Amino acid sequence: MPLKDKTSVPMIVEKAARGILAEAENKDQNVAKDMADALMATKEMGMEE
């Protein structure tokens, strides 16, 4: 889903990372934290994937 507004991408990525952590509260938190960290690292590098 390409976005025309590039400022929305970091916000969406951050919300996704927080959602992953919230969903994993009662499950495997280590996997969720790794996934969220990878998402945030991608956001910080400015990758467009």
pLDDT band at 46 (very low <50, low <70, confident <90, very high): low
Q: What percent of the chain is modeled with pLDDT above 90?
A: 0
Q: What is the pTM of this model?
A: 0.55
**39 against 1, higher pLDDT:** 39
Q: What percent of the chain is modeled with pLDDT above 70?
A: 73
CB neighbour burial string for 5-39, b if at least 16 within 10 angstroms, e if fewer: eeeeeeeebeeebeebeeebeeeeeeebeeebeeb
**What pLDDT shows up at residue 39?**
82
For 4-24, what is the mean pLDDT? 79
Q: Rounded to the nearest 10 degrees, what angle do helices 8-23 and 29-45 cross at?
A: 170
